[in-house]
Amino acid sequence: MDTGDFRNGLSIFYNNDIYTIVEFQHVKPGKGGAFVRSKMKNLRTGATLDRTWNAGEKIEPARLDRKVMQFLYSDGADFNLMDMETFEQVTVDRKLIGDKEKYLKENTEVQVIIFKDEIVQVTSPDFMELIITETDPGFRGDTASGGSKPATLETGAVIRVPFFVNQGDKVRVDTRTDTYLERVK
Whole-number pLDDT of residue 98: 77
CATH 2.30.30.30 residue window(s) in the chain:
3-61
pLDDT band, very low/low/confident/very high, at 35 (cuts 50, 70, 90): very high
pLDDT band, very low/low/confident/very high, at 180 (cuts 50, 70, 90): very high
Measured CA to CA in angstroms, residue 53 lies from 2, 3, 34, 161 at distances of: 10, 7, 9, 46
Q: State the Cα torsion 108-94-102-109 to the nearest 10°.
A: -10
Average pLDDT, stretch 19-27?
92
In the CATH scheme, what is the code of domain 127-184? 2.40.50.140
CATH 2.40.50.140 residue window(s) in the chain:
65-123, 127-184
- The CATH homologous superfamily of the domain defined by 65-123: Nucleic acid-binding proteins (2.40.50.140)
Q: What is the residue-averaged pLDDT of the chain?
A: 88
pLDDT tens column, 51-104: 999 988 999 998 889 899 999 988 878 889 999 899 999 999 888 887 888 888
Tell how many helices (H) and how many strands (E) occur in the chain. 0, 15
The topology under which CATH files domain 3-61 is: SH3 type barrels. (2.30.30)
End-to-end CA distance of the chain: 50
